[in-house]
Structure 1
Amino acid sequence: MLPSYVLLDLETTGARPLKDRITEIALIKYEGEQEMSRWQTLVNPEVPISSFIQQLTGINNEMVANAPTFKQISGELLDYLNGTVLCAHNVRFDHGFLKNEFKRIGIDLKQKVLCTVKLSRKLYPQHRSHGLDAIIARHELVCESRHRAMGDVEMMVGFLKSARQELGDVVIRNTAEALLKGSKSLPSHIDAQLIDDLPETPGVYLFYGDTSLPLYIGKSINIRERVLSHFSRDHASTKEMRISQEIKHVEWIETAGGFSALLLESKLVKERQPIYNRQLRRERQLCSWRIAEHPTQVPIVSLVQVDEIDPANMGQLFGTFRSKRQATEVLYKIAEQHQLCQKVLGLESGKGACFAHQLKRCKGVCAGKEASELHCLRLTQAMAAHKIKTWPFKGKIGIHEKNHFNDKSALHLFEHWVYLGSVEDESALDKIAEDKLELIFDLDTYKLLLKELGKPKVKIIEFESSPS
């Protein structure tokens, strides 16, 4: 597959690299397609193994009690990894644990990595699932010790052997090399150290040129992968090419999850106004239509600017438009589609019946042929698709995110679609509760929160009055 690589698998006490520890390591080292050596060892994690993990892996506290610690086997492990590509199924997991274990003993692990999950996706795009169990079933492999390190390594061996038989050595090698190439494509004017330092976790990244103002701010559930994608030779746009040419420095902020990254990106873009973030910049012309309380009022709709929007009464508004022109164009289309009176809507001036009524495209509220109440009802129904959602909670809510991989936690507080701030956990809510924040509607926050609330597994904490 590659000139020199190691197939590796770990068993651990849990899924959090910053807190959990390694209990078993197994690897097979290859030069080309030739197996050179294999090695496995139990590891004393120096922390108790939970009953759940014991049941899953079959490794219990008694088995590791007299096993060497990671520090004791670290030198031998480094000898196997030296000069090779580390290959693992979901390599982010194994690499993250190794980096943290080495970091605890004062060693900064620098290792090229290749994920066999990504390799499977590239080789077999027609299949939906690429987890190890799916691959075992797909290639009819026989595993005698699933969830033990060497047993899982041997399943990766079986997968590669089967793939070579089906697709050929050249396809496997070229695909693996392409994946590796994509992981080290930073341009020469950027410090190559970034390749190793970029985290594979959710967060926000900031690109800088020659000044202290960012060129571009982005977000991703995998910072490393997304940043490196900006430097692909196959640039998707002129903007991407310009960004890659102008970047001199990269910074990043890890977050607890994708929603945290979206909120932070939106906030930073509005604060710092990077030149290549056009869509997320603050639109001060934001406006919405409001239907009059009395159906006989003319015009029956009025345009409300962003500064006049009261977040507590959002349910009375229709549409989130970035300009008066956009709002008017939408209203014209609605009037045409539903035979509404453009004069009553304020889109046409003059006395008497509207022009559309002469063309039989208005049902005649302007000529006394349709009751104002009925016209208003039809207007409300026609605008229903654009109606801004009413706040569905009694008071403030918190949306909780927890990332076990980087041990980040965040509780995001909202009221009437307005983002009030974030804390690490509920114990830190008092400060936000005491702050008398002005509720200012923001379209991007509204859309982000609306989408997040629609997800089935979102964790919501409701506060009827204050979150103190």
Structure 2
Amino acid sequence: MYAILDIETTGGKYNEEGITEIAIYKFDGHQIVDQFASLINPERSIQPFVVNLTGINSEMLRNAPKFYEVAKRIIEITEDSILVAHNAKFDNRILTTEFDRLGYNFEKDTLCTVELSKKLIPDLPSYSLGKLVRSLGIPLSDRHRAQGDAKATVALFKMLLNKDAAKEIITKSVRKDPKRQLETKLLDMIALAPTDTGVYYMHNKDGDVIYIGKSKNIQKRLTQHFTSDNRKSKRIQLEVTTVSFEKTGNELIALLKESSEIKGLKPKYNRALRRTLFHYQLNSFIDAEGYIHLKIEKADARKKPITTFTNYQQAKTSLINITEKYNLCQKLTGIHTTSGSCFNYNIKECEGACIGEESPLEYNEKVTSFLEDYSFANKSMLIIDKGRDLDERSVILVENGVYQGFGYYNLNYQITNLDILKSIINPMKNDRDSQHIIQSYLKKRKVLKIVNLEKNTTN
């Protein structure tokens, strides 16, 4: 659990500042579960430059509560939470000082979104809150006021959690959260899980990830894990102490995250999915007469495939469908092995490329049409789909045939600049599995929209 906060102060000498406004959002890693915001009477003067910066003056604070009057509420809302702030050292020092004046020892673990941003989103021109969130497409209202800045920090932290492929943030949370360490009953873990689409992470007592999975209904999938009596499930049930999760909004991003993070984190109970997802691929070659042939082959990293398949039967079925859809020749796609005409020519469903009646130019136009539809080569596109909330969309970026990563944006903040788009994208490894996942998914399922970046058209 996280307490994401922002504090405005009077300014002045070090450790003599007073709080003028505070906003705290309790955040469970996915949504805000509690909040508190208030002006505070600091019982001291406010520096003029601070008045100009925040707009908060002494007259506004005359009838505001003093710190001791809200101290109990602050303790309650931050209980069992890691403090998160933009420049957390400052906010934590101010809070600690105020509680010291009351004779209360206020100690919290902290996370700083400035430091996290520099690590997870390097090389940005500025990491001040205003410029940073603007560059990431995060709306910010009431700059230099506690509620506005804290709410923007929530959105920023949510993005940083998503970019944290090594899961360092959540691991720290699991290790430090005493309530999570006590949640050993499997039924409690199931009850806390959402029914949304996403990726889930099982942790041991040290916070280390021991298993990663994806599901369209995380709660239902955990129920299956924790009620199964197979050998692996029983071992997981004994070792797991908590489950964290990330909503993805749609299954395609869940599949991509699961594949990438299993390879990166190498959880002990995910041995099977560390290996490649596909075993066959479709390639092409040109024969002596100039005809383009299609051929199913075993996966070979030295060759760039047109598309990939999990097994041979899937590959053969797909090639039969491709042959029918694009009116190709069964002999030239390897479906019918013959020295003469193919079966479809005999029933007048092939135009005769197999025996030279259809010219290479005419036949290859049909093959080229298929290649343009199926191949990732040199394609640049955005795959737009549902986000984690109703007012959010997800975006996957493929550039020149290379999968770059995914991100999320708010519908109220339309992303039209490619540089801003790239800044919200979580960079992901472009391996053959990720391309296999994207190609296979788009063949079987619909997404909200595909934007062709070269032609700037939508499908």
TM-score bin, normalised by smaller chain: 0.3 to 0.5
Q: Please report the TM-score for the alignment, with normalisation by the length of structure 1.
A: 0.42
